[in-house]
Amino acid sequence: MPPYPGDRTGPRRARGLGRFTGPRPPRPEACELCGTPVSGDGHRHLVETERRALVCACRPCAVLFDRPGAATGRYRTVPDRYLSDPGHRLDGGAWDRLRIPVGTAFFFHNAALGRPVALYPSPAGATESELDPDAWQSLLDATPLAALLRPDVEALLLRRDGGRTSCHLVPVDICYELVGRMRLLWQGFDGGAEARAALREFSAEVERRARPVAAATAPTGTGAP
């Protein structure tokens, strides 16, 4: 992903996201690396760091780029890790400091830029919101999930609904899948009923898959579930 423009006049469409920002294309019939046929859930995603693009891969290829030392290469495997932090300290004030104009946003560490970025779904696709360093520090202070993010492939997903903020660590590809769905369904000023229903369905699935961060990071032998 190329560097973002430096002005701070307001949110803007994220550049260089390529296939991330539009509707997800039909699943390919072959791994984009080795050509092995794949179908259904028989493949995973890689992030091609130079182009900031998602690449479909068969499981053997995905495992190859998930080994120690592979994180510095051209491809990085998107993990299948979902964590929740029910004890986070993100209140309305923290949300205001993030300057996100909608109720859903995700944050990930862009290794090429050497800093975290903040994006949110919009009718135009993935839109960047300028992330103040103090605002990012407030996230680091409010939840351990922010410090656990793997660069480029995992995101901190926040949703504020009815005065309640949910906080999850998720694979970055599902965030861009949400962006594509919202772009397709968005109607009017606030997205419309169909987009809101899709967002609720998406959030429920994230909640279902996520494990509490305390249990997921507990040392072996502590008896944590």
Strands 164-171 and 154-161: antiparallel
User: Rounded to an integer, what distance in angstroms lies between the CA atom of residue 160 and that of residue 73?
Assistant: 35
Contact 11, 123 (CB under 8 A): no
User: Rounded to an integer, what distance in angstroms lies between the CA atom of residue 154 and that of residue 171?
Assistant: 5
Domain boundaries, the chain: 21-77, 83-216
How many angstroms separate the most distant Cα atoms in the chain?
53
User: Rounded to an integer, what distance in angstroms lies between the CA atom of residue 192 and that of residue 97?
Assistant: 26
Q: Which pLDDT belongs to residue 120? A: 93
Distances, alpha carbon 151 to alpha carbons 20, 54, 79, 93, in Å = 16, 14, 11, 27
Q: Which pLDDT belongs to residue 37? A: 85
Question: pLDDT tens digits for the chain (225 residues)?
Answer: 333 333 333 444 444 444 444 445 555 578 888 888 887 666 788 998 888 788 888 888 888 887 765 556 788 999 999 999 999 998 878 888 888 888 999 999 988 888 999 999 999 889 998 898 999 999 999 999 999 999 999 999 999 988 889 999 999 999 999 999 999 999 888 888 999 999 999 999 999 999 999 855 555 444 433
User: Rounded to an integer, what distance in angstroms lies between the CA atom of residue 33 and that of residue 41?
Assistant: 17
Whether the pTM exceeds 0.85: the reply is: no
Q: Which pLDDT belongs to residue 72? A: 60
